Amino acid sequence: MPADRFVDQLNAQIGNELAAHNQYLACAVHYDALTMPRMAAFFYGQALEERGHAMMMIQYLLDTDADVVIPGVEAPQPTFDDVVAPVQLALEQERRVTDQINALVRIAREESDFASEQFMQWFIKEQVEEVATMNDLLAVVLRARADLEDIEEYVAREQSPGSDDPMAPRSAGA
């Protein structure tokens, strides 16, 4: 069974992932309302990915006979001033999640909880990709903020959905 400290923090992280899911939904709705279907689809996909991360964490706790506690989450920021603000928020969110993931690894290591540390390795790799993706998207949106079609074209060209990662942890309900 994982260390109690790790379990408590992983349960909190489930809430963080679900909050990220909700925030990405709000971003997607913003772009949908602007008739930017590719940006909307990108953020709807990001929302599903964050929900998937929460489900992976739930499955790990179930697999290790640890208590699963689904925490409540605050409402997401519902509106944005322009096309740049949601991407800026997303980058800040991904950086914050990276810090949270690193803290979970640190706890597992301090507790000599090797299975939990190993479980978190995939999330470390995932966060590197997420921050890089949002950094690139922010650069494009800042540069092309006056030309929504350029933004849509970039997303269509560069942000195509990836294939399932065979190294990803199993998800609850899958």
Chunked into runs of 10 residues, the chain (174 residues) has average pLDDT values of 97 98 98 97 97 98 98 96 98 98 98 98 96 97 96 90 75 77
User: How much is the pLDDT for 94?
Assistant: 98
Based on the number of CB atoms within 10 Å of its own CB, is 162 exposed (0-12), middle (13-18) or buried (19 or more)? exposed
What is the Cα–Cα distance from 159 to 114, expressed in whole angstroms?
A: 34
CATH number of this structure's domain 4-158, picked from the four choices 2.40.30.10, 3.40.50.620, 3.40.50.300, 1.20.1260.10: 1.20.1260.10
What's residue 23's pLDDT?
A: 98
pTM for this prediction: 0.93
Alpha-carbon distances, residue 111 vs 5, 13, 125 (angstroms)? 8, 18, 22
169 touches 119 (CB < 8 A) = yes
